[in-house]
Amino acid sequence: MNRNREQWSSKWGFVLASAGSAIGIGAIWKLPYIASNAGGGAFFLLFTALTFLVVLPILIGEFIVGRSSQSDAIHSYKVLAPGTYWSWLGKMGVFGSILVLAFYAVVGGWILGYIVKAISGSVSHGNQAQLALQFDLVTANTAIAIAGTGIFLLLNVLVVTQGIRAGIERVSKIILPALFILFIILIIRSLTLPNALAGLHYFLSPDFSKIDSKTIIVILGQAFFSLSVGISLMVTYGSYLNRKTSIPGSSAVVAILSVIISLFVCLAIFPAVFSFGVVPNMGPGILFVILPSIFNQLPFGTFFFIVFLILFFFAALSSSFSLLETATAPFMKRLGGRKLGTWIMGGIIFLLTIPAALSFGIWSHVTIFGLTIFAASDYLASNIILPLGALFTAIFVGFRLPRQLLWDEFTASSRFGKKLFFVWLLLLKYVAPLAIILVFLYATGIIPS
């Protein structure tokens, strides 16, 4: 046990920070158009089932790895499995964290640009075609792309340099409650719009005909993305956790909050877009084209759109804190401590993020397997590294760690008994790995759809 390691100040500080890591762009930006293309309610049912049966058991496992080792993403595996090659799993997690942070930073930069535009009034008029053109111009603008990405990463650095309690935890305690309040307001407003029930019906009526092997891997990737599992974020956060906090109880709360926010997103967006005769299947433009056009038609719409953008920006920040912390923690001692190490790593990540930031402008012609650098980074992280990382985490925790260690960590300060422990272990060792493997076999065509 590393007694000098910083710790969360309370259980709820840890839960809110972990939920903040889970609730961000993955839940708000990607979810509506994924749900729209995956059968609406059918998507949400599968998403919820996969979250609790596949992803939650692995989330618990990652917290156990972090708390029992009291070390960062890479050294946790060296502590728990010395003399083996398991540390590569942590290294893959750090690499995945950098990829996802690149994705977050670029979108965060767009949000910053749109906050400025909304305040200036330049998105408070115009039809969807004009707003779509404006979105293309913003994302293709080199200065906006690089400046926005840089500012987003700078804010991350400023928070993470303050440490776990004074930085990440303190900000998360403000952001998460604010997000819930805003979404409740938006849901109420959305459900009172004309024809809002059509959107609600679309979301609540599952269309399983749209579910195939390809959509299942996307849904599973979204579940991993939404709970930040598979790239050692929760190993890192778990390493700052004391033994007075129940890991299974806290993990369940994080999963429930993630699913609730995902439900809130759908309830806020689907009725609104259907009220104005739009199907939310146009990808990232839903936040930067469809929503502005809807807010423009509502009383005080510009104000609410600005508030939505600001809180969406904060949600992106709360998620990215864990990404920067995971990427930096293994190298802090080598780079001169938390503050200097975070500044150095932040600068390195900024340089690595520039190609993704320029993927919609001067580097739009640069492709990897037919995808832009931005899209390739997102696909590699969400649909390959996260599920693979989760698979090997399940194998490591379930088959490599001693049963007594798992029992001690699972039951510490917990009301969960022996039966639930064995249910969790069964899901972790067999159900979760099998689900991930089957999805990959279907996706690669080895098993026909």
Pick the most confident of 4-8, 152-156, 291-295, 372-376: 152-156
Q: Phi, psi at residue 363, to the nearest 5°?
A: -110, 20
Q: State yes or no: pLDDT of 119 exceeds 90.
A: no
Distance CA 298, CA 190 (A): 10
Per-residue confidence band for 297, with pLDDT thresholds at 50, 70 and 90: confident
Q: State yes or no: pLDDT of 110 exceeds 70.
A: yes
Report the b/e string of 306-315 with b at 16+ CB within 10 A: bbbbbbbbbb
Could you give the angle at the alpha carbon of 382 between the alpha carbons of 379 and 383, nearest 5°? 70
Nearest to 355 by CA among 93, 157, 142, 138: 142
Other residues' Cβ atoms within 10 Å of the Cβ of residue 1: 10
Q: What is the pLDDT of residue 396?
A: 97
User: Among the listed ranges 71-85, 172-186, 213-227, 348-362, which one has the minimum average pLDDT value?
Assistant: 213-227
Mean pLDDT of 316-341: 90
pLDDT tens-digit series, residues 144-183 = 889 999 999 999 999 999 989 888 888 888 888 887 887 8
> What's domain 11-444's architecture?
Up-down Bundle (1.20)
What is the end-to-end Cα distance of the chain in Å, rounded?
48
Q: State yes or no: pLDDT of 282 exceeds 60.
A: no
Q: Phi, psi at residue 371, to the nearest 5°?
A: -110, 150
Helix (H, G, I), strand (E, B) or coil at 214: helix
Per-residue confidence band for 444, with pLDDT thresholds at 50, 70 and 90: low
Mean pLDDT of 286-302: 75
Report the percent of the chain where pLDDT is more than 70.
91
Where in the chain are the domains? 11-444
Distance CA 435, CA 291 (A): 35
Q: Which residue has the higher pLDDT, 267 or 162?
A: 162
Pick the most confident of 25-29, 108-112, 366-370, 424-428: 424-428
Per-residue confidence band for 127, with pLDDT thresholds at 50, 70 and 90: low
Q: Which residues contact 124 (CB under 8 A, 6 or more apart)?
A: 118, 292, 296, 301, 302
Q: Which residues contact 434 (CB under 8 A, 6 or more apart)?
A: none
Token readout for 390 is 């989760």
pLDDT tens-digit series, residues 16-72 = 888 888 776 666 666 777 777 776 778 888 889 889 998 999 999 999 999 999 999
pLDDT tens-digit series, residues 355-382 = 989 988 888 888 888 888 888 888 888 7
Per-residue confidence band for 94, with pLDDT thresholds at 50, 70 and 90: very high
Q: What is the pLDDT of residue 360?
A: 86
Nearest to 396 by CA among 351, 357, 432: 432
- The whole-model pTM stands at 0.89
Per-residue confidence band for 294, with pLDDT thresholds at 50, 70 and 90: confident
Q: What is the pLDDT of residue 4?
A: 67
